[in-house]
Amino acid sequence: MDLHIFWFIALGILLAGYAVLDGFDLGVGILYPLAKTDNEKRLFLNSIGPFWDGNEVWLVTFGGALFAAFPDAYATAFSGFYLPFMMLLWALIFRAVSIEFRSKHDSLVWRGAWDWGFCFASSLATFLFGVAVGNCLRGIPVGDDKEFSGVLADLLNPYAISIGILAITTFAMHGSIFLYLKLEGEVKERIHKWLWHTFGCFVVCYIFCTIYTLVTIPHAIYNFEHHPWLWSIVILNVLAIGNIPRALFLGKPGYAFLSSSATLIAFTALFGVALFPNLITSSLNSEYSLNIYNASSSDKTLHLMKIIAFIGMPFVIAYTLIIYWVFRGKVKLGKFSY
């Protein structure tokens, strides 16, 4: 396979892994206000306790791989989205330490502040991911020098904001199913109600954003016209979404979680198809777009990294499976919990 296409797909896999895995723990953060008592809050936190850190590594590795495979796209995107990325970093820092520090001290103000920080930072980070995706789909002003030439306001357009909201509803739904799987008793029943609320919000946003994309971003379906088999992703996506309420209705939340994971994977795939072969689409002139050829590292580096990935990824998958297996089952608060 063409090394450039290989790395485009590999980045997609890393991004999909991040969306599926960190998606549910960000979702737990978004839904965190549903936890009423201190005990419930700790249950929420500890449901993601052993996982969130490893989940975030998918993003770190995505960043590293983007840097390595397509340095120009990495440089343009990160310097162009300067303040949004900084805000994302602040949110992720805040979130990490909120989880870690919250239960370490017994005071209402202390815990209240970190609780608020955890929910806000999770929501903000999710929103900013959505905004970034929206802007990539829409295209940003990039000149012939490969540099971003716009201003911050260009990035906060209605389309990107819509995708940001879609991201929040998607992760909230994904997180609610995860919580439903992990919790027991009265709080579980409360989540059950919210499964349907979040699913409803998600479907509304999904339909709205799909129409919005089809109307305003014609180049998003360019690849579909030339490769009709790609429509199968859309069909799978719709089936996966449809299976969520079905599985919930049948009382099989495990399947619902798999379906919402499949939905996130399909979203990432559609995002990739809409972009391909571009990484950053220039809204000024399509010739200025950074694509997998003009923004990439040398074939030698791409080949080296392919070897690294083939050696490393089986280990990564093995660790992930081990961790999820060791910490399977319902959350229990113990002496080592947050």
Footprint of other proteins on this chain (CB under 8 A)? Answer: 49-51, 53-54, 56-57, 59-61, 63-65, 67-72, 74-80, 82-83, 85-86, 89-90, 92-94, 96-97, 99-101, 104-105, 145-149, 297-298, 300-301, 304-305, 308-309, 312-313, 315-316, 319-320, 322-323, 326-327, 334-337
Question: Closest separation between CB of residue 130 and other proteins, Å?
Answer: 18
Residue closer to other proteins (CB basis): 229 or 310:
310
**Whole-angstrom distance, CA of residue 98 vs CA of residue 113:** 9
Question: Residue 307: CA atoms inside 13 Å, Cβ hemisphere, count?
Answer: 5
Write out the two tokens for 79.
């310097």
Question: Closest separation between CB of residue 235 and other proteins, Å?
Answer: 33
Question: Closest separation between CB of residue 33 and other proteins, Å?
Answer: 22
Q: Could you tell me the CA-to-CA distances from 290 to 144, 198, 285, 328 in Å, in that order?
A: 10, 36, 11, 43
Residue closer to other proteins (CB basis): 229 or 336:
336
Question: Closest separation between CB of residue 172 and other proteins, Å?
Answer: 23
Contact 135, 279 (CB under 8 A): no
Q: Which of 22, 45, 223 is nearest to 117 (CA)?
A: 45
Question: Closest separation between CB of residue 16 and other proteins, Å?
Answer: 16
Residue 142 has what DSSP assignment? Answer: B
Residue closer to other proteins (CB basis): 49 or 253:
49
SS3 228: helix
Residue closer to other proteins (CB basis): 49 or 139:
49
Residue closer to other proteins (CB basis): 71 or 277:
71
SS3 280: strand
